[in-house]
Structure 1
Amino acid sequence: MYGKFQEYLSAELKEIKSAGLYKSERFMTTPQSAHVGVNGGEMLNLCANNYLGLAQHPEVNAAAKLALQEWGFGMASVRFICGTQILHKQLEEKLSKFLGSEDTILYPSCFDANGGLFETLLGKEDAIISDELNHASIIDGVRLCSAKRYRYRNSDMLNLEEQLQVADKDG
């Protein structure tokens, strides 16, 4: 039924594999840690967001168990749809006090934080000069704001200089 299309897909897949661009899913067989079990071996984990190693910290796990018993498993949506749980507000207040800031807002991920950051800080009179290979969250966040956008080629300082001059000329 889809013979020619299947042949096309097989050829494309073969080309992707031969170029070294094929992604294989890795299955972790151990809890999140600095070292994780993968495919029968142990690997240094440099790709997780567990930078401080708190995912397996006994106090964090104990607090998570208590919170799970009392509050259940998360909001099941973002705070601006379902509302903000008092737990989040209490943590934001503690962070504000610790940081000496007027207020704090928590985001569930860095992706979400970057998605909301630029729109709140930058207006039409501002400009963003951004590396074309920035993380997708930064690219999306920049798209959502009204600032003028200028992109330069990664590691190309001459192109960066050109974009800075264009931005300066544009005002």
Structure 2
Amino acid sequence: MYTTAKAIINQQLAEIQAGGLHKSEHVITSAQQAHVRVTGGQQVLNMCANNYLGLADDPRIIEAVKQSLDHWGFGCASVRFICGTQ
């Protein structure tokens, strides 16, 4: 039974690949930034993170955040069901 199922699955996978519909995983090999390198060395726009604009790496943003933390401080700022009872 497994041999038959395996043959059917292999045939379906072959059809998917032949149709250009197969998606292979691209492993990120660089730091998480707006642009990342993936296996094979290709540089791509990182759309799987919330930093696709590169703002988290911008020195101006980092400095502004540091100044804001020094002035305003930091703490959990959300409703109880997200942060729990603090």
Measured against the shorter chain, the TM-score band is 0.5 to 0.7
Distance 1:9 1:84, change over 3 A: closer
Report the AA paired with residue 83 of structure 2: Q
Q: Percent identity?
A: 38
- Unmatched 5+ stretches in structure 2: none
* Offset from partner CA, 1:29-67 (integer Å, 9 cap, x none): 11222321111313131634323213334528x87xx9x
C-alpha RMSD over aligned residues = 3.4
Q: Deviations over 1:55-96 (max 9, x none)?
A: 334528x87xx9xxx97xxxxxxx88x61439xxxxxxxxxx
Tell me, in whole angstroms, the C-alpha distance in 2 between the residues paired with 1:21 and 1:83. 41
- Indicate conservation of the 8 Å contact 2:36/2:44, yes or no: yes
For residues 10-159 of structure 1, the aligned pairs below 5 Å read 10-45=10-45, 47-48=47-48, 49-57=50-58, 59=62, 83-85=81-83
Stretch of structure 1 that moved more, 39-48 or 4-13:
39-48
Highest RCO, 1 vs 2 (Cα 8 Å, sep ≥ 6): 2
1:98-141 alpha-carbon deviations (Å, 9 max, x no partner): xxxxxxxxxxxxxxxxxxxxxxxxxxxxxxxxxxxxxxxxxxxx
Q: Does the aligned pair in 2 maintain the 1:16–1:22 contact within 8 Å?
A: yes
Separation in 1 of the partners of 2:52 and 2:36? 14
CA contact (8 A) 1:35 1:45 kept: yes
Runs of 5+ consecutive residues of structure 1 not aligned to the other structure: 72-78, 87-171
TM-score, normalization by structure 2: 0.60
SS of 1:41's equivalent in the other structure is coil
Residues 55/46 of structure 1: CA separation in 2 closer, same or farther (3 Å cut): same
1:28, 1:39 within 8 Å by CA — same for their partners in 2?
yes
DSSP-derived class of the 1:83 partner: helix
Q: TM-score, normalised by structure 1?
A: 0.33
Query: Given the superposition, is the C-alpha separation of residues 83 and 32 from structure 1 closer, same or farther in structure 2, using an over 3 Å criterion?
Result: same
Look up the equivalent residue of 1:32 and give its one-letter code. Q
